[in-house]
Amino acid sequence: MTKPWIIRQPLDMHLHLRQGDMLKTVTPVSAEPFVGAVIMPNLVPPVTTVEHVIAYRDAILATSAPHAFVPLMTLFFRDYRAEELAAAKPHILAIKLYPDGVTTNSDSDVRDLARFHHVFKAMEELHIPLLVHGETHGFVMDREREFLPSYEFLAENYPSLVIVMEHITTADAVALLDRYENLYATVTLHHLLLTLDDMAGRLLKPHLFCKPILKRPEDREALQQAALAGHPKLMFGSDSAPHPVSAKECPGCAAGVFTAPVCLPLLADFFRRNGADERLQGFISDHARQLHRLDLPEKNIRLEQIPWKVPERYGSVVPFMAGEEIGWRATVV
């Protein structure tokens, strides 16, 4: 058994908690090991008002108790007035932009970014970051690459706006990080570990179906190299996205991988196997805390080589690696 190590204030910078009974099922799974998470606003209806932000945050806090957990709230992008954004700023970390219909519950009127100049300008002046699901409606393997010029448009026209490319999946997106000072990115566990072949190479595995779709080995390698090298603009965001088994094992399978129960153990395994223990702290916490100047409660997690079996289900949700043994365990110190 190798020596365990401690991670300080682990953060998940992209998390779906849903609502209703699903919220009650999945929130404790993330609230126990993570000190905080950026909460996605694509509910039904989406989170577009301060009142909804506060109500949703209160529901998360009630469900996450007794764990020390800070929900970092977001608004769903729309045509906001500057006054609305100023009123919202004390209650949110960022605003999340979904191009119309690109993923679960993402119906919006965002088709032409230039139309929203006044919103981006107000966000820039108020120092409210922009989080972006960066995909077009083109061929599924090319959607992220086709969206990259939109990131360039935003980065060039709003140089003081912090822009986070969410759940990047391609070598091209990794390269773009170094071209613009105000561009940052999150990456998921499943895009770090898997390729499209894992989902559809033999029998179709619906619980690995996600958007953006899993990509090619060379794209995965670029993501891995950036994470293991400690790229200072790359942060962990699980994009853990629970759906009931009835919505996954069916025609019209919903997109999303529920990775929350296994994120820290599998990241520990990945970084240790690649001799990059010292890089995990930045990836899972420090880069995000520095970017967003987060003041968070103390919470330390011990990562140890203790095998355990992933449950087959959490309520109605099948987790990543369900029923399989994992060699690492994460526990609160």
**What is each CA distance from 18 to 42, 167, 191, 288, in whole angstroms?**
8, 18, 21, 23
Tell me the C-alpha to C-alpha distance, in Å, between residue 179 and each of 85, 161, 173, 233, 278: 29, 15, 10, 12, 26
Q: Residue 244 corresponds to which amino acid? A: P
Burial (CB count <10 Å: 0-12, 13-18, 19+), residue 51: exposed
Cα within 13 Å of Cα(124), Cβ side: 15
Among 136, 164, 162, 166, smallest CA distance to 149 is for 136
Long-range contacts, 241-247 (Cβ 8 Å, 24+): 241/16, 241/104, 241/210, 242/16, 242/18, 242/22, 242/25, 242/26, 242/314, 242/317, 243/317, 244/22, 244/316, 244/317, 245/313, 245/316, 245/317, 245/318, 246/316
Give the gyration radius of the chain's Cα atoms. 19
Q: Tokens 């759940």 appear where?
A: 167
Bridge-partner residues for 72, per DSSP? 38
- Amino acid residing at 4: P
What's phi and psi for 257, nearest 5 deg? -120, 125
42's tokens: 């694509």
Identify the active-site residue in 100, 172, 219, 239.
239
CB 146 within 8 A of CB 138: yes
How far is the C-alpha of 200 from the C-alpha of 191, rounded, in Å?
15
239 catalytic per annotation: yes
Bridge partners (DSSP) of residue 165 are 132, 185
Which residues participate in catalysis according to the annotation?
239
